[in-house]
Structure 1
Amino acid sequence: MFIFTVDDEVSLALVQPSFAKDYYRIVCQERAYLSTWLAWPPHANEEAFFERFIQGALHDYADGKSLTCAIVYQERVVGNVSFNTICHQLKKVEIGYWLSESYQGKGIASRSVSAMIKMAFEDLGMEKVQIAVATENQPSRRLCERLGFRLEGEISNAENLNGRIVDHAIYGLQVTR
């Protein structure tokens, strides 16, 4: 199993079928919160939902299209971080992430996204990292800004979050030449 140690508390582990129960546990406890910024929680009504998600993520990883990791904090799965897309032709990745509400405020998401940025630039030879954030999602916007991303623009009517149409702020970070 692929595990990237971020520090003594946080690691990123390539998703594996055994994580389905952990993801399902988080969603059962925090469905309303997660549904604020993610479209899928209302549909995650059984472990099998996550088993299918993980199987698809592993297939896309094998094809070089994406990389999906569980965020592990003190040996407990607490969220997810991924290269939603890896575009070798454009030398660009798009990062997505979510973290259990009960583990926020500890720098876990920042450390995890930082590790993915490092991996993108140093290991994959990418030249750009992009993150799309709902414009109203201030904690995620602050994370992007803390990590040195630049706001590149906004896209209106970018996503339907469970009946609520949201705009996206697009943040980019590029290799300095």
Structure 2
Amino acid sequence: MFTRQVTEDLAIALVQPSFAKNYYEIVCREREYLSHWLAWPPHANGEAFFETFVKSALHDYAEGKSLTCAMVYQDEIVGNISFNSINHELKKVEIGYWLSESFQGKGIASRCVQALIDIAFQELEMEKIQIAAATENLPSRKLAERLGFVLEGIITRNENLNGRVVDHAIYGLSVSRL
């Protein structure tokens, strides 16, 4: 199993079937919070939802299409981070992440995104990283900006978040900007 130690108390670990229970527990505690920026929480009504998610993620990882990891803080799964897509032809990846509300403000997401940036540029030899965030999702937008991503544009009416249509801010980081 792929695991990357980010700091002494923080790691990212390739998703595995045993994580389904942990993901479901987080959603049960924080469904309303997570549903504000993610479309899937209202549909996550059991561990089977996450078992299917993990199986699909591992299939896509095996084919080189994505990399989906749990964020593990002090030996507890606290969120998810991924290359939602890996485009080898364009040498581009898109990063997505979510973090349990109770673990925010500790730099966990920022450090995990930085770890994926390093993997993308140094190991996968990508030339571009993209992050999309709802325009109103200021914490995610600030994270991208803090890590050197540049706002490349706004895509209007880009996602239906449980009945609420949102615009997306698209951020990019190119290897040439480093």
Report the TM-score when normalising by structure 1: 0.99
Question: Residue 34 of structure 2 aligns with which residue?
Answer: 34
Q: Distance in 2 between matches of 1:127 and 1:7?
A: 25
Identity of aligned residues (%): 72
Q: Distance in 1 between matches of 2:77 and 2:49?
A: 17
Q: Distance in 2 between matches of 1:64 and 1:112?
A: 20
Question: Residue 48 of structure 1 aligns with which residue?
Answer: 48
3-state DSSP of counterpart to 1:37: coil
Residues 17-166 of structure 1: matches in 2 within 5 Å? 17-166=17-166
Shift of 1:176: 1.6
Q: CA offsets per residue over residues 1-51 of structure 1, 9 Å max, x none?
A: 110000101100000000000000000000000000000000000000000
Where structure 2 has 5 or more consecutive residues not aligned to the other structure, the ranges are none
Which residue type is aligned with residue 165 of structure 1?
V
How many residues align? The count is 177
Q: Distance in 2 between matches of 1:124 and 1:7?
A: 21
Q: Distance in 1 between matches of 2:166 and 2:128?
A: 24
Where structure 1 has 5 or more consecutive residues not aligned to the other structure, the ranges are none
Report the TM-score when normalising by structure 2: 0.99
Q: Distance in 2 between matches of 1:174 and 1:9?
A: 29
Q: Distance in 2 between matches of 1:10 and 1:158?
A: 32
Shift of 1:169: 0.1
Q: Distance in 2 between matches of 1:35 and 1:142?
A: 20
1:6 partnered with 2:6: yes
Q: Distance in 2 between matches of 1:41 and 1:9?
A: 27
